[in-house]
Each structure stands twice: as structure tokens, then as C-alpha cells.
Amino acid sequence: MATIAALATSRLQKAIGVERAAEMIPDGAVLMIGGFMGVGSPHRLIAELVRAGRKDLTVICNDTSRPDNGIGLLIGARAIRKVIASHIGTNPETQKQMIAGDIEVELVPQGTLAEQVRAGGYGLGGVLTPTGIGTPVEVGKQTIVVDGKTFLVEKPLRADFALIAAKRADYRGNLEYEMTARNFNPLMAMAAATVIAEPIEIVPTGVIAPDHVVTPHVLVDYIIERNRTHGR
Amino acid sequence: MDDKVIIASRVALELAAGELVNLGIGLPTMVANYLPPGVEVFFQSENGLIGVQPVPAAGLEDEFLTDAGGTPVGALPGACAFDSAFSFGLIRGGHLAATVSAAWRSTRRAISPTGWCRARWCRAWAGRWTSSPAPGR
């Protein structure tokens, strides 16, 4: 019995401090960061990357939010060398750095970006989509005709690290999301070599029913410990 | 009458009961306020919700429930939350009746700075490429 308990405990050692999580992420890493205008972004992880002075990051994300929020803070800290996103219209600082040549921006239609991340996680060679045919989006990309309809071949995206945010993590790392904070997080959780999840709540294993688990624990490498102040 | 009110109320007239309609950010979210009485339309916000409604009263905002611009919204009973692949599957897969998108220029109507279209492709300078709704509309 003691041996079984010891094994169970060792498998549960996924919780780490936010500082240790940031230490794992080197300059120049390719990151997927969840969130939509900062909603559902791992804010504590982002703040720690800024504090640690990370540089030359490639970030795959829906958007760079606003200058004072979410991924916008990494932009403001000049931590990002390249961003692959669906839009940057809400962050004038991203636009400024792009125009100055300090940051490379690759814009992807949002549905295509979601599918590229999904393909990266699902082991697909790419996805066929009609979005962007006949527009600048198709430049430089392969097209394919299936049953008389033309599609763009969009390649899978993968990252070194996926930094995701969740509403709840159980002790094993099963994740549940809340409302519009879900967005890209479950997709990114499949498409990176190392997945670090920042939950709002950590609950005992079994609290999240199987039907409510959106990201299975086997995909999650680390859970960020919750704030340690505990009412002090 | 304010230009935005004119556009929002005109767009609202185009929507029929029971339809799933995608809303872009900004002016499009006003459209919900101008639906004719008794017309129940289901609004999808691309950031992952069907059943968007305005926040019912001040003070009920939650940071995890927003429109695609990050502005807090409410959710009607029976609302559904989903991820971004699913969200765009609804759009690209032809499950919408219409999309209302802020556009600097559209392929069918040139209304500046915002407009709407039911055209095959509606190009938005905010960075959104919105595929058109169900065939035949």
C-alpha cells in the first residue's frame, strides 16, 4: 500500500512555481500562448517571462491584445522577434515594431490558424481550406483541387512550449475551461513539446467529471501553482 | 440619428428568427439591440460562444466572458462555449445564416468605415477573413 501511495504521489508532481516554469523557457523559444484579447491568457506566466527578460521569442497566438494586457506585455518588453497571429489591429505597439522592422509579423486568417494548430497537435500533414483563395493569403502556398473545388494547403504549426490558461486543473492535470477563455488553449495543449498550464483553481482529482474534461491530463506537463499568499 | 444606430438598426432588419449569426466587434454588437420584437436570433461571438447577449446589468461583468474585442458580455440561458477550431468550423462549414463584420471595404458594398455584407467573402482590415454563411443566402 505504501508503495502504491508513493507511486501515485510521484505522478502528481506536476505543480511548479511560475518562476521555475519561466526558467525552462529559453530565449529564442517558439511558444504557443493561449488567449483571445488577453482573455484566457496565462497572465502570471507572461508577467514572469517579462520579469525574467526573455528575448527573441517566436509567439504563435490569436492576437497581441493591447499594450497593457496579456501578450501585449511581451510585445512592450520587446521580448518577441516574430509573431504568427490572426490580427494585430488592437495593439499599436506591435504595429509600430513591425513597421520599424523590429518584429516579424505573419498574419493568418483566424480559422486557418486554429486549424494549423489543431493539425500540429493531431498529427495531420496540413489542412485544406478555401479561406484565402483569390486573396493575398494564398501567395506562396500550395493549392489543391478536390472535386473541382480549389483549396489552400495550410501546414501544421507546432511549438517548443504551449503556455495555456485554464479555469480548473485537477491534481493530475485534467483541465476545464471557462466561457470565452477557452479559445485556442485546448488546441495548443496538443501541439507543443512541453505544455505548461496556468489554472485559476486546482481541485482534487475526480472533481472534474470525465465528460467535463476538455484537456486530458496526459497532455499537460506542468501546472502552475496557485498564488501562495493564502489569505495572509 | 447617430450613423452607427442607423447601420445597426438596418442590419437588424435583415436577420430572421432562429438564425445563427456571427458578430464582429464594435458596431456589430449593437445590432442585437435593434432586433424587431419577438425575433430570436442566436449570436455567435468568434472567440467561442453562441448565445451572446449584452451584460444584463452593471456589475455582473466577468473577465472570462467577453466579445471578440475583450469587452464583457452576458450569455443567454442555453448558451454554448467552444474552442476556436469549432468556432471557425461553424463559420467555414456553412452553419451561419449571416455574419456582421466591421469592414473598411467589402466586395459587394463599399461602406466606410463600417459596413456589412452577405457576400461570399467579406474582407475586414481588422484582420478577420470571414467566410460567408450557408449557401443560397
Indicate the SS3 state at residue A42: coil
Interface contact flag, B125 A185, Cβ < 8 Å: no
This complex has an ipTM of 0.91
CB atoms within 10 A of CB A145: 8
Distance from CA of A114 to the nearest CA of B (A): 5
Which chain A residues are closer than 8 Å to B51 by Cβ? none
Provide CB contacts within 8 A for B3, sequence distance 6+: none
> What CA–CA distance (Å, rounded) separates A114 from A131?
12
Interface contact flag, B88 A62, Cβ < 8 Å: no
pLDDT, tens digit (0-9, with 9 covering 90-100), for A50-59? 999 999 999 9
Of B46, B64, B68, the CB nearest to A178: B64
Interface test with B, best of A32, A41, A179 (most B CBs within 10 A): A179
| Nearest partner of A184 among A69, A42, A62, A91, judged by Cα | A62
Residues of B carrying an active site annotation: 46
A92 interfacial to chain B (CB closer than 8 Å): no
- Chain B residue with Cα closest to A89: B126
**Which residues 4-33 of A have a C-beta within 8 angstroms of B?**
none
- pTM listed for this prediction: 0.87
pLDDT tens track, chain B, 137 positions: 788 788 888 888 888 888 999 887 765 667 777 888 888 889 999 999 999 888 889 999 999 999 998 999 999 999 999 999 999 999 999 999 888 776 543 444 333 333 333 333 333 322 344 443 333 33
B49, B75 in Cβ contact below 8 A? yes
Of A63, A130, A183, the CB nearest to B48: A183
Indicate the SS3 state at residue A40: coil
| Nearest partner of A108 among A89, A86, A83, A127, judged by Cα | A86
Interface contact flag, B48 A179, Cβ < 8 Å: yes
Q: Which run of H or of E encompasses A150? A: strand A149-154
